[in-house]
């Protein structure tokens, strides 16, 4: 009696190769999603005046000396006297370091470019007031979308690539941040410029606010013109402690035309002129910060 025939058997090598490939692909996907797409968890803790900095703890005999006690009075800080009564923070979106100061090559030699000729504000200020002016370079951590850079600047945290999706639908920052600390200290904040700030800091964070739409990358002038229109009046009125002004035209010119186009040259000159006018409007007891977000 003849035994029944068995069907053709699959070669073992292709099966093992397919299984190994699937395992490798699954491992690559897991590694990619857990490294490149990191999830950042927000801490809900807030800094208070009772949280003394490390450099002050060794100089106090008690956890919180009377000199450092918490107060909501506007002109009495927690730990040390401020260097200025008022502060103006100007964000020039996409302000590259070689737009502001002469760049250096790999050997450390200064390389002069036409960019700084079109943006002379920093060089002139450094020349006229060398003891009162400092220029620093910082490296922006990616992703360099505006919303993620504003979060980094105001919280001190590092953004992740997965956060880039929030650039189109900004929501209120839940963790401790610079704006919250200014409000806890009783500071009056006025804001001008890119409306991304309003999504991050809603609910009356600013005593005066002049936001302008920011998502039309071919619109080089609406936001900047709005800042220039309202900023001088608020400065003269003086009912503020902190001003935040966010210029956007340089960023949009870069996206639309690139760094060497005539429209970009025009925007660099426009913003430099605006900064010069702003500087001459400020009271003497004012500290001015000018920074790029990326």
Looking at residue 9, its pLDDT comes to 60
Checking if the pLDDT of 223 tops 90, the result is yes
Looking at residue 123, its pLDDT comes to 85
The domain spanning residue 116 has which CATH number?
3.40.720.10
Burial class (CB in 10 A: 0-12, 13-18, 19+), 264: buried
Residue 22 binned pLDDT confidence (cut-offs 50, 70, 90): very high
> Is 261 contained in some domain?
yes
pLDDT digits (tens, 9 = 90+) for 87-126: 999 999 999 888 888 776 666 666 667 787 788 888 889 8
The whole-number average pLDDT for the span 221-245 is 97
3-class secondary structure, 72? coil
Residues whose CB falls within 8 Å of the CB of residue 245, separated by 6 or more in sequence, listed in order = 88, 89, 90, 91, 191, 192, 193, 227, 231, 278
How many distinct structural domains can be found in the chain?
1
pLDDT digits (tens, 9 = 90+) for 121-158: 888 898 899 899 888 888 887 778 888 889 889 998 87
> Is 136 contained in some domain?
yes
> Is 6 contained in some domain?
no
> Is 35 contained in some domain?
no
Looking at residue 62, its pLDDT comes to 44
> Is 224 contained in some domain?
yes
pLDDT digits (tens, 9 = 90+) for 202-217: 888 999 999 999 989 9
pLDDT digits (tens, 9 = 90+) for 177-205: 999 999 988 999 999 999 999 999 988 89
Residues whose CB falls within 8 Å of the CB of residue 240, separated by 6 or more in sequence, listed in order = 86, 188, 189, 190, 207, 208, 234
The boundaries of the domain holding residue 247 are 83-291
> Is 252 contained in some domain?
yes
> Is 59 contained in some domain?
no
> Is 177 contained in some domain?
yes
CA distance 162 to 283: 42
DSSP code of 110? Answer: E
b/e string for 138-174 if b means 16 or more Cβ within 10 A?
Answer: eeeeebebbbbbbbbbbbebebbeebeebeeebeebe
Residue 70 binned pLDDT confidence (cut-offs 50, 70, 90): very low
């Amino acid at each position: 009696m003849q035994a029944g025939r068995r069907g053709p058997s699959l070669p073992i090598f292709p099966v093992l190769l397919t299984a190994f490939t699937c395992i490798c692909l699954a491992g690559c996907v897991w590694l990619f999603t857990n490294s490149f797409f990191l999830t950042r968890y927000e801490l809900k803790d807030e800094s208070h005046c009772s949280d003394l900095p490390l450099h002050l703890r060794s100089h106090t005999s008690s956890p919180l000396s009377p000199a450092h006690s918490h107060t909501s009075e506007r002109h009495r800080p927690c730990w040390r006297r401020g260097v200025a009564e008022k502060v103006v923070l100007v964000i020039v979106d996409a302000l590259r370091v070689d737009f502001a100061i002469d760049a250096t090559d790999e050997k450390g030699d200064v390389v002069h470019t036409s960019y700084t000729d079109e943006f002379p504000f920093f060089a002139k200020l450094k020349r006229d007031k060398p003891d009162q002016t400092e220029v620093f370079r910082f490296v922006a951590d990616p992703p360099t979308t505006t919303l993620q850079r504003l979060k980094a600047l105001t919280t001190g945290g590092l953004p992740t690539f997965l956060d880039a999706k929030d650039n189109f639908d900004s929501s209120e920052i839940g963790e401790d941040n610079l704006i919250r600390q200014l409000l806890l200290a009783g500071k009056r904040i006025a804001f001008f410029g890119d409306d991304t700030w309003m999504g991050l800091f809603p609910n009356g964070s600013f005593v005066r606010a002049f936001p302008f739409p920011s998502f039309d990358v071919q619109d080089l002038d609406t936001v900047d013109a709005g800042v220039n229109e309202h900023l001088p009046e608020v400065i003269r009125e003086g009912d503020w402690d902190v001003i935040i002004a966010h210029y956007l035209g340089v960023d949009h010119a870069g996206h639309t035309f690139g760094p060497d186009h005539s429209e970009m040259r025009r925007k660099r000159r426009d913003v430099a002129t605006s900064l010069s006018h702003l500087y001459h409007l400020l009271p003497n007891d004012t500290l001015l910060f000018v920074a790029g977000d990326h």
